[in-house]
Amino acid sequence: MAERIGILVGWEQSMPQAFIERCNKVPGIHAEIAKIGATPELFDSPYRVLVDRISQEVKHYRFYLKAAALAGTFVINDPFWWSADDKFFGFSLAARLGVAVPRTAMLPQKDYIPAIVKDRSLRNLEFPLSWQAIVDYVGFPAVLKPADGGGWKDVTIVRNAEELMRAYDASGLNVMTLQEFIDFDEYVRCICIGRERDKVLVIQYSPARRCYIHHDKEKWLPAALHDRIVDDCMKINESLGYDMNSVEFAIRDGVPYAIDFTNPAPDMHIDSILPPYFEICVDWMVDFCVKTAKGQRGTRDDYRWAKMIDPKIPLLGPLGGDR
Ligand SMILES: Nc1ncnc2c1ncn2[C@@H]1O[C@H](COP(=O)(O)OP(=O)(O)O)[C@@H](O)[C@H]1O
Ligand SMILES: [Mg+2]
Mean pLDDT over 51-80 rounds to 96
Residue ranges of domains in the chain: 1-85+275-302+310-323, 103-180, 183-263
Q: What is the DSSP string of 157-225?
A: EE-SHHHHHHHHHT-TT--EEEEE----SEEEEEEEETT-GGGEEEEEEETTTTEEE--SSS--S-HHH
Whether 300 has a pLDDT exceeding 90, the answer reads no
Q: Looking at the domain that runs over 1-85+275-302+310-323, which CATH code has it been given?
A: 3.40.50
Would you state the pLDDT for residue 323? 54
**Per-residue confidence (pLDDT) for residue 303, from 0 to 100:** 86
pLDDT band at 298 (very low <50, low <70, confident <90, very high): low
Specify the pLDDT at position 322: 60
Q: What is the pLDDT of residue 149?
A: 82
For ligand 2, the distance from its centroid to the CA atom of residue 124, given in whole angstroms, is: 32
Ion ligand 2 — residues with CB < 5 Å: 260
Question: Which ligand is in closest contact with the Cα of 103?
Answer: 1
Nearest CA to ligand 1 atom 20: 150
Q: Which atom of ligand 1 is nearest to the CA of 104?
A: 1
Classify domain 103-180 by CATH number: 3.30.1490.20
Q: For residue 179, report the distance from its CA to the centre of ligand 1, in Å.
A: 10
For the CA of 90, the nearest ligand: 1
The total of other beta-carbon atoms located within 10 Å of residue 296's CB is: 8
The whole-angstrom separation of Cα 152 and Cα 146 is 9
The confidence score (pLDDT) of residue 295 equals 87
Ligand 1 site residues (CB inside 6 A) read 102, 143, 145, 149-153, 155, 179-182, 207, 248, 250, 259-260
The answer, yes or no, to whether residue 112 has pLDDT greater than 70, is yes
Q: Where does the pLDDT of residue 115 fall: very low under 50, low under 70, confident under 90, or very high at 90 and above? A: very high
Q: How far is the CA of 115 from the centre of ligand 2 (A)?
A: 32
- Ligand that lies nearest to the alpha carbon of residue 188, given by its number in the listed order: 1
How confident is the model over 125-166, as pLDDT tens digits? 998 999 999 999 999 999 999 998 888 899 999 999 999 999
CATH 3.30.470.20 fits 183-263, yes or no: yes
Give residue 152 CA to ligand 2 midpoint distance, Å: 6
Q: Which of 86-90, 233-237, 305-309 has the lowest mean pLDDT?
A: 305-309
Mutation to probe ligand 1, out of 143, 153, 185, 187 (largest number of atoms < 8 A from CB): 143
